C-alpha cells in the first residue's frame, strides 16, 4: 500500500474509493477543486498519501496553476513525496472506476463523514487514556471531553456565507418585519428604564462589562438585573449566575433582602420585626419559583463555565449569564503574564457569548487609579484592571460611580449613583442616574424616571 498509515491499519472508518474519486475528479476537471475544497481539508483523508496529494493540489490552486497529473506529479517530486505516493502510476489510477458523471458532493460528504467518525473515536480514546492515567480530576476530564466533542459538532456543521437576500429571507416575517424597528428583536430588559433607553437592553451574543472599585455595588447591580429578568411577570427567563467570590448562601441572602427591602445587617444579626419577616417570606416564595441557577465554584475556568452553560441552555430557556468576577477566573493553560491570561479570558467570554447566543454580564475590578486621581475619581476605560483587551472585546463597558464614597460628609450625595456607559459598540455613551440603597444592597430607578420609586432613606 506504500505509506504505512496508522489510522487505516487500526481499522478506523474510511472509504478509500470515495477518497480516490474525490482526488480523481479534481484531476479530470480542476474547476471542481473549489467545490471540494469548500467541504474538505487534507486531514479528512485516511491515507497519508491522499493527504499529501490533496495538500499539493491546494498549493497549486492557491498559486493559480492548473491541477492535472503532470503538474501534481511535478509538485510532489519537488517535495520529495512522489515516491511515497506510489509514483505517477498511482496518480493515473485515481480515476479508475470513476463514473462518467462525477458526483463531487456525495464523494466529499462520505470522506467528511468517515473523517468525523475517526475523530470521535480518537477523542474517545484520549478520554479513556486520561481516565486510566488518573492524573486529572473527573470534572476536568468531563469538561474537556464535552468541549472537544462540541467542537467536532461545530466543525461538521460549519457556517455558510449568506447574501443580503438570504438574511432577509430567513428573517421572521420577511423584509417588512426586517425594515420595521418595532418588529426587530429587542434586547433583554434590565429593569432600569434609562439604561434600557440608552442600550435597548442586553442583546444575545454581546459581552457587557460592569466594572467598579470595591464596595461600589457591582454585585448588587448585577443581582438586581438578574432578579428582574428571572422574576418580572413579563419576563421570567432563566438566569445563570457564576459567583467566584461569594458563596451561594450569601448571594441568596442579598437577593432576599433586596427583594424584601430588608436591612441586610439586621437580617444577618437576626433583629427583625414581624413586618420584615413577612416581607422576607414573600420574597423567598418569589425567589423559590424563579429560574435562577447559581454556581459558586471558586476558580472556575472558561471550559467549565462553557460546558455547564451548554447543558443548562439545552434544558432551560436560558436568557442571561452573570459572572462575578473576571479577575477571579482561572486561565486554561500557561501564560507569560497575568495580563495575557486576563486578555485570553475576556476574548474567550466574548466568543462564548457569541457561540451560545446569550448576553454575558461580566463584572470586573478596576485598578487604584480612580482613587489616586486628585479631584476627579470617576473611572475611565484605562482603569480596567490587568488588561487593555477587555475594552476591545466588550460590546458595552459601564462603570458604577458613587460620589458619596469619596465625600461621606456630603448629605446631599447620600444614595446617589451614576452608571457611566463609557463604551457602547452599537449605541451612545453617557451616564444613567440611579438610586442606591446600601442597607438593602439594591439599585433602583429614580423617582423622576419611573412611577413612585422611593428616594433613599436617611
Q: List the alpha helices (DSSP H) in 232-316.
A: 248-260, 264-269, 274-288, 302-315
Please tell me the distance from the alpha carbon of residue 136 to that of residue 263, in angstroms, as a whole number. Answer: 44
H/E element, 318: strand 318-324
Would you call 170 a catalytic residue per the annotation?
no
In 3D space, the residue among 307, 379, 387, 383 whose CA is nearest the CA of residue 347 turns out to be 387
| 447: DSSP letter | T
Report the b/e string of 266-305 with b at 16+ CB within 10 A.
ebeeeebeeebeebbeebeebbeebbbbbbbeeebbbbbb
Please tell me the distance from the alpha carbon of residue 196 to that of residue 15, in angstroms, as a whole number. Answer: 56
Q: List the alpha helices (DSSP H) in 2-103.
A: 6-9, 16-28, 33-37, 48-62, 69-78, 87-93
Q: Within 10 Å of residue 405's Cβ, how many Cβ atoms?
A: 17
In 3D space, the residue among 293, 360, 325, 299 whose CA is nearest the CA of residue 216 turns out to be 325
Report the b/e string of 27-57 with b at 16+ CB within 10 A.
beebebbeebbebbeeebbbbbbbbbbbbbb
Please tell me the distance from the alpha carbon of residue 396 to that of residue 379, in angstroms, as a whole number. Answer: 15
Dig out the grid coordinates for 81 from the structure: 513525496
- Annotated active-site residue in 65, 140, 245, 391: 245
- Beta-carbon contacts of 28 under 8 Å, excluding residues fewer than 6 positions away, are 95, 98, 102
- The catalytic residues are 245
Amino acid at each position: 500500500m506504500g505509506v504505512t498509515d496508522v489510522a487505516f491499519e487500526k481499522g478506523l472508518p474510511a472509504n478509500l474509493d470515495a477518497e480516490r474519486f474525490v482526488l480523481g475528479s479534481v484531476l479530470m476537471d480542476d474547476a471542481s477543486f473549489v467545490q471540494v475544497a469548500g467541504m474538505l481539508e487534507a486531514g479528512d483523508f485516511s491515507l497519508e498519501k491522499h493527504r499529501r496529494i490533496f495538500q499539493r493540489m491546494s498549493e497549486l490552486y492557491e498559486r493559480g496553476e492548473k491541477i492535472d497529473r503532470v503538474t501534481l506529479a511535478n509538485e510532489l517530486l519537488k517535495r520529495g513525496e512522489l515516491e511515497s505516493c506510489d509514483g505517477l502510476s498511482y496518480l493515473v489510477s485515481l480515476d479508475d472506476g470513476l463514473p462518467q458523471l462525477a458526483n463531487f458532493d456525495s464523494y466529499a460528504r462520505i470522506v467528511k463523514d468517515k473523517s468525523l467518525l475517526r475523530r470521535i473515536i480518537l477523542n474517545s480514546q484520549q478520554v479513556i487514556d486520561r481516565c486510566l492515567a488518573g492524573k486529572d480530576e473527573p470534572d476536568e476530564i468531563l469538561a474537556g471531553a464535552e468541549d472537544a466533542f462540541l467542537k467536532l459538532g461545530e466543525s461538521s456543521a460549519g457556517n455558510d456565507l449568506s447574501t443580503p437576500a438570504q438574511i432577509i429571507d430567513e428573517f421572521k416575517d420577511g423584509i417588512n418585519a426586517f425594515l420595521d424597528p418595532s418588529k426587530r428583536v429587542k434586547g433583554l430588559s434590565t429593569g432600569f428604564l434609562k439604561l434600557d433607553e440608552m442600550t435597548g437592553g442586553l442583546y444575545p451574543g454581546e459581552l457587557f462589562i460592569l466594572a467598579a472599585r470595591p464596595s461600589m455595588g457591582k454585585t448588587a447591580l448585577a443581582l438586581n438585573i438578574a432578579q428582574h429578568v428571572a422574576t418580572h411577570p413579563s419576563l421570567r427567563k432563566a438566569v445563570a449566575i457564576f459567583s467566584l467570590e461569594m458563596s451561594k448562601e450569601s448571594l441568596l441572602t442579598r437577593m432576599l433582602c433586596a427583594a424584601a427591602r430588608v436591612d441586610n445587617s439586621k437580617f444577618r444579626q437576626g433583629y427583625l420585626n414581624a413586618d420584615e419577616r413577612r416581607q422576607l417570606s414573600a420574597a423567598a416564595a418569589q425567589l423559590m419559583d424563579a429560574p435562577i441557577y447559581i454556581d459558586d465554584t471558586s476558580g472556575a475556568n472558561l471550559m467549565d463555565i462553557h460546558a455547564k452553560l451548554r447543558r443548562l441552555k439545552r434544558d432551560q430557556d436560558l436568557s442571561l449569564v452573570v459572572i462575578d468576577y473576571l479577575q477571579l477566573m482561572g486561565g486554561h493553560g500557561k501564560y507569560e503574564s497575568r495580563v495575557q491570561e486576563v486578555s485570553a479570558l475576556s476574548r474567550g467570554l466574548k466568543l462564548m457569548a457569541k457561540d451560545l447566543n446569550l448576553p454575558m454580564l461580566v463584572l470586573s475590578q478596576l485598578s487604584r487609579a480612580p482613587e489616586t486621581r486628585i479631584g476627579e475619581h470617576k473611572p475611565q476605560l484605562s482603569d480596567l484592571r490587568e488588561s487593555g483587551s477587555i475594552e476591545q472585546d466588550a460590546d458595552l463597558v459601564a462603570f458604577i460611580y458613587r460620589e458619596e464614597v469619596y465625600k461621606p460628609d456630603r448629605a446631599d450625595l447620600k444614595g446617589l449613583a451614576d452608571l457611566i456607559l463609557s463604551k457602547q459598540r452599537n449605541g451612545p455613551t453617557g451616564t444613567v442616574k440611579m438610586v442606591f440603597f446600601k442597607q438593602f444592597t439594591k439599585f433602583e430607578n429614580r423617582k423622576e424616571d419611573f412611577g413612585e420609586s422611593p428616594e433613599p432613606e436617611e
